[in-house]
Amino acid sequence: MIRSAALVALLALAPAARADTPDPLRFVSAKAGFFLKVERPRALAEVVTGLDAVRAAPTLGPVRDVLDGPVVRRGLQLLGFVERELGAKWPELLDQLAGGGAVVAGTLGEGNQPALLVVQGTEEVAVRKGFDLLIRALDDELARQGSKEKVGRGTQAGVDTARLGKDFFAARVGAALLISNRAEVLASALAQPTDRAGSLAVKPSVAAARGALPADPLAWVWVDFAAVRSAQATRDFLDSTRNDFLFQMVLGGTMASLRQSDFVAAGLHREGRGLRFAVRLPGGRGGFPDGYALHTPAAGGPGSLPLLEPPGVVYSQSFYLDFGHAWAKRGDLFTAEMVGQLDKANADLSKLLPGSAKFGELLEAWGPHHRLVVVNRPTQPYKTTPGQALPGFGYVASARDPRFLTGVPATIRAAGLVASLQLGLKMTETTHDGVKIVGWRFPENKALDGDPDGLRFNFEPCFAVVGDSLVVASTVDVCKALIPEVKRTATLPGGAAVWRGKGYAAGAADALAAVPEPFITDAVLRNGVGLADARKQVDALTAWVRGLGTARAELDIGRDVYRADVIWEPK
């Protein structure tokens, strides 16, 4: 079935529709549970093929191996066959065969669910020829496989139809091609344009979803979450998350938004030289119970602080999570059993804290803003080289109350003292940029059971207090890199997003360049090349990764709309 599959793939990548081209959604019943629509097919094809990362990918060894493989070669042969048979090159054919866009729709559920593909062309003559060619390609493939079965041709509701076995039903309606895995779905689709009020083209939820997304999506998805939410299994799952501590702490805001939402919309958009993937839900913080302020700030407060971007950064994250609110409102957020467990944990942990500090009091003093960072370390913290080198890590916590900046460091010092007695750690103190850094080092002349590879020599745990923030890092060098970043961002405004993260291809490329040996070995074994050629391949891979730029993700739970975005920005 390779020819038919490739032809359908070509149809789905067609150019943008003319203004007078009808909407392919007119064939889809309003009872459908979801659809994927290629809104601007030509723009999608041009954007994807025009990306520098895509254009440069064929220079990479693994990609070149795929492109030289039999599947791609046969695909190119098929493309040439289609062009010859239809008398035009593929860009023009895409215009004619699918210039009005393409939609895949169906119902959600287990097993082989009903589905419908609608491809809207702009030239009826070309679509008729394409439909005939599709039938010929299917018959040729069946003959090649030795099957005596053939595609059955006929008419239904006055249009050309085709049928193959029990799972392939197709029809051509003017310049539109329809394909389904169920005869009754195709029959319903053929009758749909005469009953436009019953189609997805005019369903209010679809229009609301389209309006919630950023303008001009290249492709987008709609899910009827009202129907999903009405299912008993979904209701049971959403209810169960209320009683799950981890769900409440990590995904409580998302679950609360889903409980309010009638649809889920997602779109792929052009963003500068890169792409944006956007998800929207119509349920915002305005409908949250009071306890969910755990995940969202008070009106006017920042959702997240600026990202930390020290030299060599690979990944940076900033998010809002109010442990103090969770503790104070634990009766609203958690079940009675969970509250009892938290109270017991408070009593037990408080016994281990130095002085008169209470665990619950430290939670209330803990600020709601948190920042994480992963960096390439410029130097190793020890003379002994670990069996596996790890990147550096850092965590920066805000303080709501000064007690946090005294109580937590005192607790860390107490834990360091216990670790020193058990593991022989040595405490160090140093000053950087006017800030005292307290750290601990592992002894290099003492074996440690359970760590034969010396992974501990990646770590020199330390902390520092910078203004109203506590910095905890895996090494002193990482802490030194974070101190000026915390100071730099202290005067910058926060953002509305309650969670945001950013990955840096330059940092990933530096990490790859620092340990190229596994990749060189793989290139030698896979391609049978010499070391010099293998190093060139790894250098090419490093350069390609560096050109990927950055990828950032943002989650903003507004009053009425839940927004989640992933934005790729090539270098």
Written as tens digits, the pLDDT of the chain (571 aa) is 333 334 334 334 434 445 567 899 999 999 999 999 998 777 788 888 889 899 888 888 778 778 788 888 888 888 888 888 888 887 788 788 888 999 999 998 888 899 999 999 999 999 999 999 999 889 888 888 888 889 999 988 789 999 998 999 999 999 999 999 999 999 999 987 766 678 898 899 999 999 999 999 999 999 999 999 999 999 899 888 888 888 888 888 899 999 999 999 999 999 988 999 999 999 998 888 777 788 898 777 899 999 999 999 999 999 999 999 889 888 888 888 888 988 998 898 888 888 777 899 899 999 999 999 999 987 889 999 898 889 999 999 999 999 999 999 999 998 899 888 888 899 999 999 999 999 999 999 888 888 888 999 999 999 999 999 999 999 999 999 999 999 999 999 999 999 999 999 999 998 888 877 877 787 777 777 788 888 888 888 899 999 999 999 999 999 999 999 999 999 8
User: Distance between CA atoms of 316 and 521, rounded to whole angstroms?
Assistant: 31
41, 36, 552, 555: which is closest to 274 by C-alpha?
552
Query: Residue 312: left if φ>0, alpha if ψ -120 to 50, beta else—which one?
Result: left
Taking the C-alpha atoms of 55, 59, 61 and 65 in order, what is their torsion angle to the nearest 10 degrees?
70
User: Distance between CA atoms of 428 and 441, rounded to whole angstroms?
Assistant: 7
Packed helices 245-260 and 232-241: angle between N→C axes, nearest 10 degrees: 130
pLDDT given at position 412: 92
> Cα angle vertex 112, ends 173, 197, to 5°?
40
pLDDT given at position 221: 98
pLDDT given at position 20: 67
How many Cβ atoms are within 10 Å of 211's Cβ, its own excluded?
Answer: 10
User: Distance between CA atoms of 113 and 451, rounded to whole angstroms?
Assistant: 51
Residues for the chain: how many in total? 571
Whether 524 contacts 534, CB under 8 Å? yes
CA distances from 202 to 29, 119, 561 (A): 10, 18, 22
User: Distance between CA atoms of 384 and 250, rounded to whole angstroms?
Assistant: 38
How many Cβ atoms are within 10 Å of 144's Cβ, its own excluded?
Answer: 10
User: Distance between CA atoms of 559 and 296, rounded to whole angstroms?
Assistant: 10
126, 135, 121, 116: which is closest to 179 by C-alpha?
116
pLDDT given at position 526: 73
User: Distance between CA atoms of 27 and 190, rounded to whole angstroms?
Assistant: 7
Whether 436 contacts 497, CB under 8 Å? no
10, 153, 8, 179: which is closest to 89 by C-alpha?
10
Hey, what are 313's tokens? 């950064």
CB-hemisphere CA count at 13 Å for 315?
11
> Cα angle vertex 321, ends 319, 325, to 5°?
155
Whether 253 contacts 288, CB under 8 Å? yes
Helix (H) or strand (E) holding 556: strand 550-557
Amino acid at 28: V
User: Distance between CA atoms of 297 and 179, rounded to whole angstroms?
Assistant: 49
183, 168, 172, 15: which is closest to 89 by C-alpha?
15
Q: Using CB atoms within 10 A of its CB, is residue 468 exposed (0-12), middle (13-18) or buried (19+)? A: middle
pLDDT given at position 194: 63
